[in-house]
Structure 1
C-alpha cells in the first residue's frame, strides 16, 4: 500500500502537535528553583521530582520526526509518479517555504534542547562548593518558546508540501501537453 500525500501531511501534523504539547507541558512542569541544603562546606540542591527533562526530550524527538517526515514527504513519489527536485525548486515560493521550514526546525530544536540539557545538568550536578548558590534551573520560557516554534515548523512543512503538490501538478500537466502535441481547445473570435 502506497502512502498518499494526505497521509504524509497527517503524519507531519501529528508529530508536530505532539512536539508542541510535550514542550508546553515541560515548560509548565519545570520548577522555578531548587531547595538549598547546607552541608559541610557544600550546598546540596534538592529539586522536586518533575518530568521536565523527559518531556523536553520527547518534544525534541517528535520535532525531529515531524521534520524528517516533512522533508521526506516533499520528495516522495506519489501514485507511482516522481518529480525531479529541480522541478520543485523552480518554484520560488516552494524554495522560500522549504528554507523557512528548515530554519524554524533547527531553531525549535535548539530552543527545546538547550533548556532540557541545562535542566538535566542542574539535576545531575546538584552539589556546589559555593555557599551562596540559589539552586538554579533552566531559563524559564525557552521550552515554551521552542514548543511554539516547533508548531510553526510543522506548519511551514505543510505549506511546503502544498506548494510541492502544486509544482507536481504543473509538471505533470506540462508533460501531458508535450506528449499530446500541445493541442488545446482555443476559442477563436472573428470580428466582421
Structure 2
C-alpha cells in the first residue's frame, strides 16, 4: 500500500491548540485553588471540553493513497475505496459522495469564501498582466525578426501555469485527480466502512452528564 497523503487545516489546528491550552490552564488552576464541588466541576468540564475541542480542531484529517480515501471527522472515521466514490462536491463545504448515495463532509478541508475571492482577484490581475505582456511581445516580434533571433524552440509564446485557485479548491482538485486515476484499479475495490470515534464520544458524554449533575446540585 502506498504512503498516505495527509490533508489538514493548519488554521483549525492552530486555533484548537490555543483553545486547549487556555482550557487546561483554567481547569488546572481550578483544581489547585478550588474548594468544594469546584474541583469536581473542573474535572467534568475538562472531560467534556478537551475532547470536544480536539474533535473539531486537531482531530480532523483526510488521508488518501492509491487504494482508498480515509476521512477522519470529529466523531466518525469513514473509509471509502476509490471504486466506491461517486463524486466530490465543493460549495459551502467540501463533500464526498459514495456510490450508495451517502454524503460525507470533509471537515479538515474547509471552504474559504474569502480565499476564493482572493484567488479570483489574483487570477484577474494575472490575466490582465498576461494580456499586457502579450501585446508587448506582439509589438516586439518585428525586432526579433529583423535581428533574426528566436528562442530555442522557435516560439515566443508564454506558457500558463494554470488558474489561481484557493488552497481548499486545489486540494479537492488533487483528490479528484487521484480518484479518476485509481477508481478502476483492482486494489481500489471494497466496501465503505464507518466507525464511530468512541474515544471522543464517551468522555464528552461522561463529562456532559457529570457537569450537568454537579451544576444541578450546586
- After TM superposition, the score normalised by the length of structure 2 is 0.27
- After TM superposition, the score normalised by the length of structure 1 is 0.30
Relative contact order (C-alpha < 8 Å, sep 6+): which is higher? 1
Q: Higher strand share goes to which structure?
A: 2
Q: Higher helix share goes to which structure?
A: 1
